[in-house]
Amino acid sequence: AAIGKGNYRHFMEKELHEHPAVIGDTLRQYIDPATRAVARPALPFDPATLPRLWLSGCGSAFLVCNTARYWFETLARLPTDCDVASELRYRDPPLTEGGAAMFVSQSGETADNLAAMKMLRGGGQSLVSVVNVPESTMSRESDATLMTVAGPEISVASTKAFTAQLSVMACLALNFARSRGAIDAAEEARLTAALLEVPEHAAKLLDASAEIEAVAAEIRDARDVLFLGRGSLFPIAMEGALKLKEISYIHAEGYAAGEMKHGPIALIDAAVPVISLCPSGPLFEKTASNLQEAAARGGRIIAFTDEEGAPALRRFASRVVVVPKVDPFVAPILHAIPVQLLAYHVAVLKGTDVDQPRNLAKAVTVE
């Protein structure tokens, strides 16, 4: 049966509202309800002894890989490399014997992924794909397939598949961390509980999207927008910039907050909104001080934070959007939602073809 938009104006809006359900369905696929721990998925390698992991994909899926790298390294103490598939396929990197690669893709058909997979296969790496389409080519070309449970995604710009992919990767990071003896049972239980609470927080965020619409009205006429984040929020800053470019055609860049002083700070004036992902946590003070530097140069700071981070940011930010406070481990999943919503509302205000942005395709099956 054809999929409809229901009461939504666009598929993208409908799919944004599916975030809570999709994250919940995906987590339920990987977390055993009885033990409340991630069940070991069938994999072609043993995470306990895996020497090195490659992560790759294209577009938003690549940004999922970037986020997952922080998790695999920090939580699971697993050496991880990450690259876009279009570079990886020609890079000819030295490969570690017994290594593995995971490819993330909504469609499972992206040509650059298939070529990079072939290259890594030739180098003796085992292959896992994380896809949303079970009978896809990538799935057939892999030793194991891990499914996202996002359902069909129609909007060209990926939304719900993105948080579903993050959910799978977060589960894997926890599972690998346990296999590698990198976290104890209490920490694992705490982080798993934090993951299981994400759908509920995501639903709250979607209910309070009026504030995001106000931010959208504020940035709709900007020519350039800068998105800043640190740690696992850096890839989410890049996702915010990517989405804004894709559907509203505003030039945007996602930058590591600490790298701003090496370039983007030259652009800052009142005409360039600086959108920052700055929840409380170990990196809060560092990011906040980068934002203060931008504010001191006349920058208009729009900060996404939580109730703990809000008071400090209100001193210099022109707008502070409060999202639910969660463990820093799951913050990237939650923060992906407001930046995607923001891009959506800007595109609606600008009257672009939200679901079918110019020059873009849902699945890129040619090089």
CB of 148 to ligand G6P, least distance (A): 10
CB of 292 to ligand G6P, least distance (A): 33
Which spans in the chain are helix H? 11-17, 19-30, 59-74, 85-91, 111-122, 137-140, 160-179, 185-196, 198-207, 210-219, 234-248, 284-296, 310-314, 331-350
Q: Which of 23, 38, 43, 58 binds ligand G6P (CB under 6 A)?
A: 58
Q: Does 170 bind ligand G6P (CB under 6 A)?
A: no
Count residues near ligand G6P (CB under 6 A): 17
Q: Pick between residue 86 and residue 232 the one whose CB is nearest to ligand G6P.
A: 86
Q: Does 360 bind ligand G6P (CB under 6 A)?
A: yes
Please, are residues 300 and 274 in contact by the beta-carbon 8 Å criterion? Answer: yes
Q: Pick between residue 31 and residue 156 the one whose CB is nearest to ligand G6P.
A: 156
Q: Does 137 bind ligand G6P (CB under 6 A)?
A: no
Q: Does 111 bind ligand G6P (CB under 6 A)?
A: no
Active site (annotated) includes residue 14: no
Residue whose entry in the numeric block shows the structure tokens 């890989």: 65
Query: Parallel, antiparallel, or unpaired for β 37-38 and 31-32?
Result: antiparallel
Q: Pick between residue 132 and residue 209 the one whose CB is nearest to ligand G6P.
A: 132
CB of 205 to ligand G6P, least distance (A): 21
Between CA 107 and CA 112, with CA 108 as vertex, the angle to 5 degrees is: 105
Strand partners, 275: 227, 302
What the block records as the tokens of 182 is 């990198």
The amino acid that residue 320 corresponds to is V
Q: Does 61 bind ligand G6P (CB under 6 A)?
A: yes
CB of 252 to ligand G6P, least distance (A): 15
Q: Pick between residue 159 and residue 287 the one whose CB is nearest to ligand G6P.
A: 159
Q: Does 154 bind ligand G6P (CB under 6 A)?
A: no
Rounded to whole angstroms, the maximal C-alpha distance in the chain is 55
C-alpha pair distances (Å), 95 with each of 51, 67, 123, 164, 285: 10, 22, 7, 29, 38
Q: Pick between residue 210 and residue 366 the one whose CB is nearest to ligand G6P.
A: 366
Q: Does 158 bind ligand G6P (CB under 6 A)?
A: yes
Q: Which of 37, 154, 203, 364 binds ligand G6P (CB under 6 A)?
A: 364
Question: Which residues does 220 contact at the CB level (< 8 Å), separation at least 6?
Answer: 248, 346, 349, 350
CB of 304 to ligand G6P, least distance (A): 21
The residues binding ligand G6P (CB under 6 A) are 57-61, 105-107, 110, 113, 156-158, 360, 362-364
Q: Which residues are catalytic?
A: 362
